[in-house]
Structure 1
């Protein structure tokens, strides 16, 4: 919240998803709005796939905007009028706003993912071999970021191998990525980084997407899911002695990029990070 009274001039921003109660985006953006003393509020709105399209367009055209999380990122890409290169490339949209009567969409997850990888692996992923779990919107952003940073090879493991192949073809990554046909293909394979890009972990009862014990050596593990506590995936990796991080750094960096789309510079990063750390405590 901004601390300002809400009026007819207050701009409404929201994160749309299902589930969305766990989202830390309202805390991050609330801190940023207060720091900039902007007349706007940011909420978390749970919605279905059909409602997401109307909310994207309605919020943007009313002078606000917002973010999109699972499972609506691909649907949001279809709902906007203008798409940045990141949306065109990934087919997923996580940030929306309006300009000159048109609804715009961006995918700031790509920049957020690249920053999160750098925080976990300061040496970067150039020349690295990466295992990517999932083939949805988050996986698309991850694959784009990995390709941008010069990864040597990406092996994609998804419940549907056909969807993994579709992702590779759709992003023109045939020369750098391969689809694994089942978990048996992991036996003894070494990876510099394993990225967990499925939605598993949003619910406490969710199973792990796979076990790192199926792999050989693993240099680091990154979970794009986050929660109030470290995710099961992060805990399992650390128990195996693998350096691991959840999706909070990616959340922070993509949020900063989204804030810049809506309000321009300066982006109050210190306040946003403090809000994130406060939730960690």
Structure 2
């Protein structure tokens, strides 16, 4: 574990000293709670930074990025732009390289430096929710967040992950990703008969509006669900799970923890370096998110 932790240390970068503009990009983006959370954090830290949001389509990412001037400090990036941000990065953290996903860009004199805070953010949220000791986990979905989940679960010491995807052939590379992070990964379809063995947790990386077939939920709902969706809550899948008698946990904890690491990176260039009075910052972020979600 010591070796794994040392391998996971993030690269450091030097932020533009006077740049104060930031934003979250995605498509869609209107639902994002990031502006409220970041604004609350910067208020606690006494930073006069401007954090907005912009809907950017995947095919428009590169030209929109090229238009940003020297007043920009960085970006938070959500779906479907994480692979575009990965490609745009001149340097990347190890977890960004493993997952081929970047959700945070810091602008430096050398160009954008990319990291993936979803990995550490999810691991922290799972610990907070009491799932830090899971061994066998089912991951629903085949996108870049599912890749982040595999790496997070490896960091937590899980040994077995079954990835359930609508197109299993499209996520065959997750087996090699598991090997790189010490996790045995099996690929399976999203069919009820694929849920035929025990697991400690089901972790959904599906969009919040996704519904699964009733027979799939019935086959899986005896296992607790951690859903990365958070707004609105419960998600469609979360409501299905609850109606089937299962326990559900929202992704609000992951949202806060990954955003905290983004703020560390924007402030110091090191997402592992704690902020001043970080507990107060995190509490303010969570309060802002809760207020904006209603």
Same fold (TM over 0.5): yes
Q: Secondary structure at the match of 2:172?
A: helix
State the Cα distance separating 1:278 from its structure 2 match.
2.0
Structure 1 equivalent of residue 46 of structure 2: 37
Q: Verify: 1:212 aligned to 2:221, yes or no.
A: no
Structure 2 equivalent of residue 110 of structure 1: 119
- 2-structure distance, mates of 1:212, 1:192: 16
Structure 1 equivalent of residue 75 of structure 2: 66
Q: Verify: 1:177 aligned to 2:173, yes or no.
A: no
Q: Which moved more, 1:170-179 or 1:95-104?
A: 170-179
Alignment equivalent of 1:137, drawn from 138, 144, 149: 144
Structure 2 equivalent of residue 254 of structure 1: 258
Structure 2 unmatched runs, 5+? 1-17, 269-274
Query: TM-score by structure 1 length?
Result: 0.86
Q: Secondary structure at the match of 1:38?
A: coil
Q: Secondary structure at the match of 1:172?
A: helix
Contact kept in structure 1, 2:137 and 2:200, CA below 8 Å: yes
Structure 2 equivalent of residue 4 of structure 1: none
Highest RCO, 1 vs 2 (Cα 8 Å, sep ≥ 6): 2
Contact kept in structure 1, 2:161 and 2:183, CA below 8 Å: no
Alignment equivalent of 1:225, drawn from 226, 229, 234: 229
Q: Secondary structure at the match of 1:64?
A: strand
Structure 2 equivalent of residue 191 of structure 1: 199
- 2-structure distance, mates of 1:168, 1:60: 40
- 1-structure distance, mates of 2:201, 2:131: 12
Alignment equivalent of 2:160, drawn from 153, 167, 172: 153
Structure 1 unmatched runs, 5+? 1-8
Contact kept in structure 1, 2:106 and 2:113, CA below 8 Å: yes
Query: TM-score by structure 2 length?
Result: 0.82
State the Cα distance separating 1:179 from its structure 2 match.
0.4
- 2-structure distance, mates of 1:32, 1:175: 35
- 2-structure distance, mates of 1:179, 1:116: 24
Alignment equivalent of 1:87, drawn from 96, 104, 113: 96
Q: Which moved more, 1:160-169 or 1:172-181?
A: 172-181
Structure 1 equivalent of residue 23 of structure 2: 14
- 1-structure distance, mates of 2:235, 2:67: 34
Instruction: Go from structure 1 to structure 2 and tell me whether the alpha carbon gap of 1:166 and 1:252 turns closer, same or farther (over 3 Å shift).
Output: same
- 2-structure distance, mates of 1:151, 1:159: 23
Contact kept in structure 1, 2:42 and 2:49, CA below 8 Å: yes
State the Cα distance separating 1:81 from its structure 2 match.
0.6
State the Cα distance separating 1:181 from its structure 2 match.
3.9
Q: Which moved more, 1:130-139 or 1:178-187?
A: 178-187
State the Cα distance separating 1:34 from its structure 2 match.
1.8
